[in-house]
Amino acid sequence: MNRKYLSTLTLALAALAAGNALAADAAAPKTTAQVRAELLDAQRTGDIVANGDSGQKLNELYPGQYPSKAAAQGNTRAQVLAELAEARRTGDFAVHGESGEKLNELNPGQYPAQAATQGNTRAQVLAELAQAKRSGALAYGDNHSSH
């Protein structure tokens, strides 16, 4: 076997294993055909983690070799104005200064109480951790080990 074939086979198996792991977490299991279709799409778009310790995907390492991702549609002017009005009403925006505190944190009695929000699920935290590792946003200090 040549090295390129072996690398491609390794990537395909890794993607298939990742697809199976994600399928196990989903509410409805995916069929073999769905997993294969996702694998082919990931290979086509380079959305597969490259070999090595970087954790970067192929489309991040070699962006010219893969189609670019579609840009997300921004909010309309009306949506932005509605969000601003809601933020003013609830005091949910930061004031000028270095503290970064929001108005509703500085003057809680002047704004309606905010409902407590539930934290992220384990799956969400793990997904965020994986994304942080891929993007290099996760910095390890001297006292942490990188497993």
Domain range list for the chain: 3-70, 77-110
Nearest to 26 by CA among 137, 107, 95, 127: 127
Whole-number pLDDT of residue 100: 79
111, 123 Cβ separation under 8 angstroms: no
**What one-character DSSP code corresponds to residue 30?**
P
Whole-number pLDDT of residue 35: 92
Whole-number pLDDT of residue 142: 44
What global pTM score does this model have? Answer: 0.33
Whole-number pLDDT of residue 70: 76
In the chain, which residues have pLDDT < 50? 1, 142-143, 145-147
The answer for residues whose C-beta is within 8 angstroms of residue 25's C-beta and 6 or more apart is: 123
Give φ, ψ of 57 to 5 degrees: -85, 160
Whole-number pLDDT of residue 137: 80
